[in-house]
Structure 1
């Protein structure tokens, strides 16, 4: 059996690294025939042992994909993920999703942090990890409830295995002698030093204790947390040092500023009389330091954070309120006053700790891994067609939030309209299209008002010569004389769609007037995307007026402009219209294929399909849509940028697969249309949804750091264009099948 671990690893000074090392050794002790390798998260160069076979730079997203390929190629039987948000790159450690979702084998996840109040990314990431995991291991019973209540993880997937601890010999006198503290009453706290550890609470409690028992010594063992050191230096340690001096405790408190080895730590824990974790808030689901103290048979006093309440139940320790140094003082004096009570506390802890040794827990992990390695992960990527009654409901909430009597505001800060950025023709054209598609699908009367608003914006934006302004500020002043060609093309697409779906004759007449007023400019277009959008608008018009030879001939001229671009750029390997793959790519073969319904030309059809197949092979890999990011446009024989991926490209891809399916009747493309739409719902490189079910808006894209949480008009409108395209296709398909 071959196991790969994804984790930090020694010699990195990190609790996760230590845990993973201990786990490897315990499994090797149980079964030395198991091959164990580490895929190490390395924030800087380390001198690793031979078990580390691959390193990931936490901030390089491509490293995670390469690590997944390495694991798959080396055919490991099972993968173990040590999960802690802070050790992975991207927002809240989102990069790890792109690794685990490419794996071909079962995944066991040890969760070291489970948050009761996660932010959006933290919650979404853990939900996705839980979906991919075969087994999730938690280290306290309280964690099980959190997983079920907040992250909706089924109990059948969860296993409780305590945090492992070393085997202790409990020879306290020998340990004290080794530390040269034979005649001292030892109180101990160990672990990384940071303000959330609450060490000042213990210091405030000690003067009265020392007054009663002068031989008391408080050992604070551990380095300052690396993140704290980076941000604040030794400010907290210096504060504690000053407090110690103020309290006159210089002879009773000792700092051991070191990341101690397990052997040294065992000595400190065995020697101590009382161990204290004085953390200042409850949100800690796992504490390795607390587990070690119980395993050592120490009398443990702790604030009531989650793991402490769980581990110290049934008399295995004593709890005191957060920051309550007076209560702590009383407990300490009481225990020193009553040696028998202190010894009973130590005995209960020791008895429980013997069940938590790595030697015993290793067997539990071996059984889990053996069971998992014999199971198969379902890698079938066939889409499960969503039934109409389960399809997400269309909601206007966010679009209405962005819309006023003038039109739709183009940008948002998170889900709040950003009035400073004003309006644009592009988004009001898309909004008209969404309104028409929604009215066609559902026939809601209120939608007519929205159609009127967006149509009137386009009317207001059209110049006397038939061209359009694009950007307008919030004071209703246009910001340029002539808008972009792309915005022109999108307006024509929406106006073309209006010919078949206008709910009122007045809307039809106004749209028709604008369409034909703009028509003299069609032949002058140079942007290939503007040409493509205009062709789509013409194709929509020809659905109603298929015998209009003048417009049909105009469509032919535009189509062969694209053919000319294709002939200039394409070769045997690069079958595309430009030297690069840039934005909104799918719209170009889509326009050509739409035109073939009205233009009987084999060359158009051939170019439409060859460019479609070329694009499909690039963006549809590993069973999900991975579009070209705008960080760096794709060129032949170069790596393709994964970020930032934007909804506009996804919507174009959905429309393209829908068109290819309608032409070929090949079910593969119907399924890929739906799979492309599911990019919005989490089937993407980060495995995170961009559609926000709470706001009914869509986030602006996949970036290097995670999700861009702004929900601008373009993103939400693109989501709903794709949504309504898929909805209509599903409805037609099911009606036909019924």
Structure 2
């Protein structure tokens, strides 16, 4: 399985390394919770016969090491084992929660360790205020609701209401609660998942309105053409470069959840040359880090690699979590049962 081999080439006994140049991992540049959470999510969702439990153990062990006693996750770990932050950013904790919800179904001690870390993190994520941190955590809570029960549903409902409030306060001509920065489809996807799970019609309407807005910026004719990594505020011209693999992944997952498979496939084909420069961003060494005005950025970090693998996985296996898995519980909660 090519994805597993790419991961093995970038993983040491501590975890998945953050950066690589032309397929060669840069040992001096350390590790992140973000990348190891993405890697755990990917391997935990592979079919049982092809699931590399040794890699799952490594990535899960990394997350357990990075988790603080209060449930938050530090993000950066240097090559010499020094923590580079104390878990102030919410995105890494949200991504870790999502990955742990997938890993909770791993066999025996791996699943139990994931469930323990998951329970420890639930109280903390309720207080999240960042747009993307809420989105990742909400999807993770919906994925873990079947096992976590009422506590997970209460936390998911709280985060969903926070997302809804943020989208409710937007302008009709900019129906997104923030500047367009990175993974812009992820909050829209999470709001839509919340709407379905808790039967919230307002959230459904606002999620659809926000997705139509992103459509107007992310598609150029028949091409997926993401907002470049220069941030876009209301009234500004769209940045054309540097386009990031994370945008293609987030869009592919979002469109699949909305049932728009053709658009999801367009987003995935961005990696394979259906982009504004007709430049393939994947070769036998793996996915590249982005699209610059001069062509591909030939560095090959973990974020690019997992963006490609997770987008492919969603196209083949369906998005995670499957909304219908949490819908029944969410409906019971919403109705006061």
TM-score between both structures, scaled by the size of structure 1: 0.42
Check if 1:721 corresponds to 2:323: no
Using the alignment, how far apart are the partners of 1:395 and 1:510 within structure 2? 25
Aligned equivalent of 1:430, options 31, 35, 38 = 38
Match of 1:511 in 2: 114
Using the alignment, how far apart are the partners of 2:165 and 2:191 within structure 1? 12
Contact 1:471 1:483 in 2 (8 A): no
Contact 1:628 1:643 in 2 (8 A): yes
Contact 1:627 1:642 in 2 (8 A): yes
Contact 2:122 2:155 in 1 (8 A): no
Check if 1:598 corresponds to 2:201: no
The structure whose Rg is larger is: 1
Structure 1 residue 545, shift from structure 2 partner: 4.0
Structure 1 residue 649, shift from structure 2 partner: 1.1
Using the alignment, how far apart are the partners of 1:396 and 1:534 within structure 2? 26
Match of 1:466 in 2: 71
Contact 1:429 1:458 in 2 (8 A): yes
Check if 1:453 corresponds to 2:55: no
Using the alignment, how far apart are the partners of 1:465 and 1:550 within structure 2? 17
Structure 1 residue 477, shift from structure 2 partner: 2.0
Root-mean-square deviation (CA, aligned residues, Å) is: 1.7
Structure 1 residue 673, shift from structure 2 partner: 1.1
Match of 1:681 in 2: 272
Using the alignment, how far apart are the partners of 1:409 and 1:516 within structure 2? 27
Q: Which runs of 5+ in 2 are unaligned?
A: 320-337
Runs of 4+ in 1 over 3 A off after TM superposition: none
Using the alignment, how far apart are the partners of 2:251 and 2:126 within structure 1? 26
SS at match of 1:597: helix
Number of residue-to-residue matches in the alignment? 319
Match of 1:176 in 2: none
Aligned equivalent of 1:702, options 272, 291, 294 = 291
Match of 2:214 in 1: 615
SS at match of 2:227: coil
Distance change >3 Å, CA 498–CA 711, structure 1 → 2: same
**Cα deviations across residues 226-256 of structure 1 (Å, max 9, x unaligned)?**
xxxxxxxxxxxxxxxxxxxxxxxxxxxxxxx
Using the alignment, how far apart are the partners of 2:155 and 2:298 within structure 1? 42
Structure 1 residue 398, shift from structure 2 partner: 2.4
Structure 1 residue 584, shift from structure 2 partner: 0.7
Structure 1 residue 402, shift from structure 2 partner: 0.8
Match of 2:242 in 1: 644
Q: Which moved more, 1:610-619 or 1:712-721?
A: 610-619
Aligned equivalent of 1:420, options 1, 23, 28 = 28
SS at match of 1:629: coil
Contact 1:681 1:689 in 2 (8 A): yes
**Cα deviations across residues 249-301 of structure 1 (Å, max 9, x unaligned)?**
xxxxxxxxxxxxxxxxxxxxxxxxxxxxxxxxxxxxxxxxxxxxxxxxxxxxx
Using the alignment, how far apart are the partners of 1:615 and 1:464 within structure 2? 38
Using the alignment, how far apart are the partners of 2:60 and 2:74 within structure 1? 14
The higher relative CO (CA closer than 8 Å, separation ≥ 6) is in: 2
Structure 1 residue 630, shift from structure 2 partner: 1.0
Structure 1 residue 555, shift from structure 2 partner: 1.0
> What does 1:151-230 correspond to in 2, within 5 Å?
none
Structure 1 residue 627, shift from structure 2 partner: 0.6
Structure 1 residue 614, shift from structure 2 partner: 1.2
Aligned equivalent of 1:587, options 186, 190, 197 = 186
**Cα deviations across residues 87-109 of structure 1 (Å, max 9, x unaligned)?**
xxxxxxxxxxxxxxxxxxxxxxx
The structure with the largest strand share of the pair is 1
Contact 1:495 1:512 in 2 (8 A): yes
Using the alignment, how far apart are the partners of 1:460 and 1:416 within structure 2? 25
Aligned equivalent of 2:143, options 534, 537, 540 = 540
Check if 1:660 corresponds to 2:258: yes
Aligned equivalent of 1:524, options 127, 134, 137 = 127
Check if 1:712 corresponds to 2:301: yes
Structure 1 residue 637, shift from structure 2 partner: 3.5
Structure 1 residue 729, shift from structure 2 partner: 4.5
TM-score between both structures, scaled by the size of structure 2: 0.90
Structure 1 residue 645, shift from structure 2 partner: 0.7
Structure 1 residue 483, shift from structure 2 partner: 4.8
Using the alignment, how far apart are the partners of 1:549 and 1:616 within structure 2? 36
**Cα deviations across residues 344-385 of structure 1 (Å, max 9, x unaligned)?**
xxxxxxxxxxxxxxxxxxxxxxxxxxxxxxxxxxxxxxxxxx
Distance change >3 Å, CA 590–CA 574, structure 1 → 2: same
Contact 1:562 1:577 in 2 (8 A): no
Using the alignment, how far apart are the partners of 1:574 and 1:713 within structure 2? 32
Using the alignment, how far apart are the partners of 1:597 and 1:456 within structure 2? 33
Match of 1:299 in 2: none
Using the alignment, how far apart are the partners of 1:477 and 1:635 within structure 2? 36
Match of 1:556 in 2: 157
Using the alignment, how far apart are the partners of 2:200 and 2:316 within structure 1? 31
Using the alignment, how far apart are the partners of 1:712 and 1:615 within structure 2? 26
Using the alignment, how far apart are the partners of 1:679 and 1:620 within structure 2? 11
The structure with the largest helix share of the pair is 2
